[in-house]
């Protein structure tokens, strides 16, 4: 998992001023996403489904195959 660095006011915001800003007051400052890029917020599966290139339709459950080491299967 990736976390925002503790110095995001100096590292993230100056680098991406069109996308983020700090809002709030006193001790309740929060990082706000100002600009959403749809292309970055759409998964490859969704793009394929929208284009008709997949059997998957948006909202369908997704099955993932899972393989466990033998010692985890036997309990």
Pair of tokens at residue 29: 């400052």
Mean pLDDT by 10 residues, the chain (75 residues): 68 85 82 82 78 76 74 60
- In this prediction the pTM is 0.43
Q: Check residue 59 and give left, alpha or beta (phi > 0: left; psi -120 to 50: alpha).
A: left
Beta partners for residue 33, in sequence order: 20
- In this prediction, residue 1 carries a pLDDT of 43
């Amino acid at each position: 998992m990736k976390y925002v660095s503790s110095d995001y006011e100096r590292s993230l915001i100056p680098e991406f001023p069109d996308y983020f800003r700090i809002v709030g007051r006193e001790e309740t400052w929060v990082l706000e996403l100002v600009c959403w890029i749809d292309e970055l917020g759409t998964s490859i599966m969704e793009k394929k489904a929208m284009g008709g290139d997949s059997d998957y339709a948006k909202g369908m459950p997704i099955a993932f195959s899972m393989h466990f080491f033998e010692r985890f299967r036997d309990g």
